[in-house]
Amino acid sequence: MNARAPKGTADMLPDEAGAWEHMQRTAQRLFARYGYEPVYTPIFEHTEVFTRGIGEATDIVSKEMYTFQDKGGRSITLRPEGTASVVRATLEHNLGANGQAVKLYYAGPMFRYERPQKGRMRQFWQIGVEAIGMAEPSIDAEVIVMLMRYFEELGIPRSSMRLLINSMGDEACRPAYRDKIAAYIRANSAALCEECNRRAGTNPLRAFDCKNPTCKDVMSSAPLLRDELCDDCAAHYSAVKRLLGDRAIAYAEDPSLVRGLDYYTRTVFEVQVDAGLGSQNAIGGGGRYDRLMEQYGGPPTPGLGFALGFERTLMALQAAGIAILGLPVAEVYVARVDSSLGAAVFALVQELRDAGIATETDHQARSLKSQFKQADRLGARAVVVVGPDELAAGEVTVRDMTTKDESRVPLGELSERLKRLLG
């Protein structure tokens, strides 16, 4: 048997898993202040949820999906992103009935069969939000402000992040622009790679995303959608920019920012960082998808959202010198002088835990010396030593592992004394 995790996946060991949980807790608290509620959708969906929503011609759908037939012969796909599922669930459960505004957030693993590299995995973890039913530019700005606040709250310095924004237009102005880009690709076909040439017939705007330097160069002179937006899209875009400016959120307009999914309309955005990530430097991004609900047979319903990647965000934090710690597992260690005191220690440990103190003890009949070593290794701030004589007097010894002070404490005062010591 091959006892290794599959290529492009990684075990999330306690340090990283603790950071993931911290990122989720931070998201829960912050997003709730903006009116978002949690949602959990299945990790797999009927394949058409993604083919319809994300678009057949996108890289995700055409190359990267984990699709298989289940035992009932249905085509099933592991979710490559969260938006399609959340919009499907919103429609299925009629959450947006009567024009109700819906604000949801999610967190969990996503799956894309990509070529693994630094910051690019086949299973990666995302936190995302969807704001459904709201068409006004104020919600675009609110979603972007919340994303930036989130990264700042985690500790990524504002100065090391770059917010890029663009407008992708809508059905009134984008089709003509797509045709224009397709024509531009055909006119420059000799200088463009095979893939970009193919894109002329499928998804021409994706040529802006090509990493090939010659293609980049050619595409840098292509017509820009910014100059071709219809009046409504232009007004929407201006309003979003004005609101961001009012909140002192620095942004750069990137007219070549075309995100890789077909469903985007109007506002799109991406947050990049300078340090620590190499070429996969986007830590989060999103946009508006005003036609997506209709793709699933629902009523016309505006919406937008973002997703941020856990692995890349963690790398950005590491590059900024920020350590995210999980919850402490042993603030206090209870050591016993000999194993005959097992039952008393068992009771004491439970009482401390019930009092809200993270407490660990020995279950391996270790010597007192190695119990102290273990306490050190776990980072315990205090060790409670239980000995037969002290116990007979209704007391224990508490050692402050920082100051090394030791004192006898009556059992009845122990939890209060420890809480004071832990601050």
**Residues in the site for ligand AMP, rule: CB under 6 A?**
81, 112, 114, 119-121, 124, 126, 259, 282-285, 307-309, 311-312
When the beta carbons of 112 and 199 are compared against ligand AMP, the nearer one is 112
Q: Which residues pair with 395 in a beta bridge?
A: 410
Instruction: State in angstroms the smallest separation of the CB of 126 from ligand AMP.
Output: 5
Among residues 221, 322, 239, which one has the least CA distance to residue 273? 322
β-pairing verdict for 37-38 and 44-46: unpaired
Instruction: State in angstroms the smallest separation of the CB of 146 from ligand AMP.
Output: 15
Among residues 174, 166, 184, which one has the least CA distance to residue 222? 184
When the beta carbons of 169 and 285 are compared against ligand AMP, the nearer one is 285
Among residues 89, 44, 90, 38, which one has the least CA distance to residue 69? 44
When the beta carbons of 86 and 345 are compared against ligand AMP, the nearer one is 86
CA distances from 168 to 58, 146, 251, 261 (A): 16, 21, 17, 11
Instruction: State in angstroms the smallest separation of the CB of 10 from ligand AMP.
Output: 10
When the beta carbons of 286 and 415 are compared against ligand AMP, the nearer one is 286
Supply 32's token pair: 């709730």
Alpha carbons 169 and 179: distance in angstroms, whole number: 14
When the beta carbons of 124 and 333 are compared against ligand AMP, the nearer one is 124
Instruction: State in angstroms the smallest separation of the CB of 31 from ligand AMP.
Output: 16
Residue nearest to ligand AMP (CB): 309
Output helix, strand, coil percentages for the chain, rounded to the nearest 5.
45, 20, 35
Instruction: State in angstroms the smallest separation of the CB of 349 from ligand AMP.
Output: 40
When the beta carbons of 239 and 275 are compared against ligand AMP, the nearer one is 275
* Helical (H) or strand (E) element with 106: strand 102-111
When the beta carbons of 307 and 345 are compared against ligand AMP, the nearer one is 307
Alpha carbons 241 and 237: distance in angstroms, whole number: 6
Alpha carbons 163 and 337: distance in angstroms, whole number: 58
Alpha carbons 318 and 323: distance in angstroms, whole number: 7
**Where do we find the tokens 């796909």?**
77
When the beta carbons of 153 and 354 are compared against ligand AMP, the nearer one is 153
Instruction: State in angstroms the smallest separation of the CB of 405 from ligand AMP.
Output: 47
Instruction: State in angstroms the smallest separation of the CB of 88 from ligand AMP.
Output: 16
When the beta carbons of 119 and 169 are compared against ligand AMP, the nearer one is 119
Instruction: State in angstroms the smallest separation of the CB of 389 from ligand AMP.
Output: 58
Return the DSSP state at 60: I
Instruction: State in angstroms the smallest separation of the CB of 73 from ligand AMP.
Output: 29
When the beta carbons of 276 and 284 are compared against ligand AMP, the nearer one is 284
Q: How far is CA 332 from the centre of its chain?
A: 32
Among residues 310, 350, 368, which one has the least CA distance to residue 108? 310
Instruction: State in angstroms the smallest separation of the CB of 348 from ligand AMP.
Output: 45
Q: Which residues pair with 219 in a beta bridge?
A: none
Q: Which residues, 6+ apart, have CB-to-CB distance to 49 below 8 Å?
A: 77, 84, 85, 88, 296
Strands of the sheet containing 102-111, edge to edge, are 37-38, 102-111, 123-132, 303-309, 282-288, 265-273, 161-167, 252-253
